[in-house]
């Protein structure tokens, strides 16, 4: 992570799997609850009742950006978030390059597009929405 760049920190042991964070993310970005179009993911582990939260760490190295053949991923100069631009063609190169699996491809009605946490432009909404306080920034 780049010094001075915010990111979402997740406490998995407190997560009860309600997926409120996913809903808030998809509604704030796409005006609909869509579990496939969210920058944060909650997945149940093999042990029942245990959940893992995956969200972009806003890496300093930006492996996703380096993998994008269209150079469509860049760092926002205001928030420091690594963001996918509007010209995404959904090739999946960025998702394949992400070491933690924080980028997914979602069908946005006009074909697949890369979806990842963009820190809501600088004021992340998911931490305030989490009923268990699993998320912070």
Q: Indicate whether 37 belongs to any domain.
A: yes
- Tell me the CA distances in angstroms from 8 to 1, 72, 105, one per residue in order: 11, 22, 20
What pLDDT shows up at residue 6? 81
Supply the range of the domain harboring residue 85. Answer: 9-136
- Give the model confidence (pLDDT) of 3-52 as tens digits: 556 889 999 999 999 999 999 999 999 999 998 999 999 999 999 999 99
- Give the model confidence (pLDDT) of 60-70 as tens digits: 999 999 999 99
Q: Indicate whether 35 belongs to any domain.
A: yes
Q: Indicate whether 3 belongs to any domain.
A: no
What pLDDT shows up at residue 34? 92
What pLDDT shows up at residue 119? 95
Q: Indicate whether 4 belongs to any domain.
A: no
**51: nearest Cα among 19, 25, 27:** 19
What's 48's domain CATH number? 3.30.70.20
Strand partners, 122: none
**Backbone region of residue 17 per phi and psi (left: phi > 0; alpha: psi in -120 to 50; beta: other values):** left
Q: Is the pLDDT of residue 117 over 90?
A: yes
Number of domains in the chain: 1
Q: Is the pLDDT of residue 2 over 70?
A: no
Q: Is the pLDDT of residue 1 over 50?
A: no
Q: Indicate whether 1 belongs to any domain.
A: no
Q: For 24, list phi and psi in degrees, rounded to 5.
A: -60, -40
Q: Indicate whether 102 belongs to any domain.
A: yes
- Give the model confidence (pLDDT) of 64-105 as tens digits: 999 999 999 999 988 899 999 999 999 999 999 999 999 999
- The whole model's pTM is what? 0.90
């Amino acid at each position: 992570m780049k010094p001075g760049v915010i990111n979402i920190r997740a406490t998995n042991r407190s997560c009860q799997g309600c997926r409120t964070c996913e809903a808030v993310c998809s509604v704030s970005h796409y005006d609909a609850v869509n579990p496939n179009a969210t920058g944060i993911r909650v997945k149940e582990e093999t042990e029942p009742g245990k959940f893992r939260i995956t969200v972009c760490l806003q890496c300093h190295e930006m492996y996703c950006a380096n993998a994008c053949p269209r150079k469509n991923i860049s760092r926002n100069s205001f928030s420091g978030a690594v963001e996918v631009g509007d010209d995404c063609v959904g090739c999946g190169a960025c998702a394949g390059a992400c070491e933690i699996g924080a980028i997914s491809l979602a069908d946005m009605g006009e074909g697949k597009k890369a979806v990842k946490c963009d820190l809501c432009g600088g004021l992340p909404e998911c931490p305030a929405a989490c009923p268990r306080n699993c998320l912070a920034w």
